[in-house]
Amino acid sequence: MKIFCKKIVGLIGLVIGVCALASNGCQNADAPTLYNPGTLPQPIVDSLSPAGGALAGIDTISVYGRNFSSDRSNDGVYFNSSLVNNASIITASQTKLTMRAPALAGDTILVRVYVIGAVDFSPTVRYKLTPAMVTFGTFVSGETAGGVAVGADTNLYVSISNANLSGTKDEGIFKISSAGARISPAYVLPTSGNISWTAIKFGPAGLVYGVKGNRAVYQLPPATSNPGSIWAVEPSGSFNDLDFDPDHNVWVGATGVVGADTTNIIRVMSDASTQNFSFSGAVKSIRFFGGYLYFSATNGSGSQVWRAPWNADTIGTPQVYFDAASVYSGTVPTLWGIAFSSDGDMFVGTDAPDYLIVVHASGLVEKPYSLYASSGVLTSPCKTLAWIGTTLYAQTAVGGILKVSTGKQGAPYYGTH
């Protein structure tokens, strides 16, 4: 019996010694160890903001409560098993912690706070994290989406083609419901072409204006026996994108209109007459916002977003607004579609691995949608963009549509106003 008792006592001593070593070795860990002789009070979570839930990976979350540490290196928050610790906590006080919502989605995320030096985690509270990006719409085998646009009815319209069809591949331009359902018949009838429209925009009287990579802008009426016709044309080049200004002029971004990429910005007036502006580079996307004409372009110096002030009947000298080389090293990616929120944030499609970035008016660049690229939801650059309310719809290079929650209102669109 004595031997047995001595073995028990020895075993207890060994366990205590091991636990003490583990405790000393984990003083700087992100989460408390199983053995923690802390004396601080248990943290308590009273509420989270935004109330009712947040956008995963996008929104800033505030956790309100008691007994947190004002030193953020001592705090940590678990969302299920996903840890937000001192590397990601933005601010910390004894009653409030702020952080970017983690890359996790669910209706009943379990949230717990720990403080190093407190014995217990906080009691668990439940919270909702909603995906900020999902695939949108339904396509059958062989179908791909081309340009997207918002109509005067604030619905989304999408150009669709089908590689499995014989003869004409263009299926037409369709209204898409808020649930992603295609509304038939087509709003604009199929053309005799083999590809969908590269970019489309709604103009006055319900007319759609489109380009498809040749040297013309087409005027497309609502579904009738006439699928549309050439509205404005240049002697050479390829038209990539278009947008309206407040006076209902159409601006076109192009490649190789005159010479070796020397005149690639075109204004088309309501009578279809044109005015060309010199720019040396291939213009991928073009937008009118806040009195400026913005366009993404590639040339010998890389890929940038440029802007030029609009003054009555001309534009000022274009200046670089954002240079991809300022964010990416090595092989500089191509910048594609651009769109603006009403507060001046610019959303830019890129063929870098994150695919969609945000350039703030201050010049700060963020990559909030990277997690959707790494998870396989976002798989290619966003080429054309349409903003409805706080939702950005993106047509990708592989012919899919994404529904992107931004938490921001889109900038005014001038074609239908």
Largest Cα–Cα separation, the chain:
107
Q: How many CA atoms lie within 13 A of 412 on its CB side?
A: 10
At residue 27, φ and ψ (nearest 5 deg) are -60, -30
Give the C-alpha separation, 22 to 17, whole Å. 9
- The pLDDT value recorded for residue 36 is 52
User: For the whole model, what pTM was predicted?
Assistant: 0.82
Give the C-alpha separation, 318 to 361, whole Å. 17
Of all helices (H) and strands (E), which one includes residue 394? strand 391-396
Domain residue extents for the chain? 44-130, 133-405
DSSP-derived 3-state class of residue 8: helix
Structure tokens at 394: 């993106």
Structure tokens at 296: 């993404």
The listed CATH number (3.30.450.20, 3.40.50.720, 2.120.10.30, 3.20.20.150) that belongs to domain 133-405: 2.120.10.30
Number of Cβ within a 10 Å radius of residue 142: 11
Of 285, 262, 254, which is closest to residue 385 (Cα–Cα)? 285
- The pLDDT value recorded for residue 14 is 33
- The pLDDT value recorded for residue 37 is 59
Give the C-alpha separation, 138 to 345, whole Å. 30
- The pLDDT value recorded for residue 196 is 76
CATH of domain 44-130: 2.60.40.10
Write the CB contacts of 113 (distance below 8 Å, at least 6 apart in sequence): 43, 45, 63, 65, 68, 75, 76, 77, 78, 97, 121, 122
**Which parts of the chain register pLDDT below 50?**
1-35, 260
Q: Are 277 and 266 in contact (CB under 8 A)?
A: yes
Strand order in the sheet with 346-350: 335-340, 346-350, 356-359, 365-366
Give the C-alpha separation, 253 to 180, whole Å. 29
- The pLDDT value recorded for residue 262 is 66
- The pLDDT value recorded for residue 258 is 62
DSSP-derived 3-state class of residue 10: helix
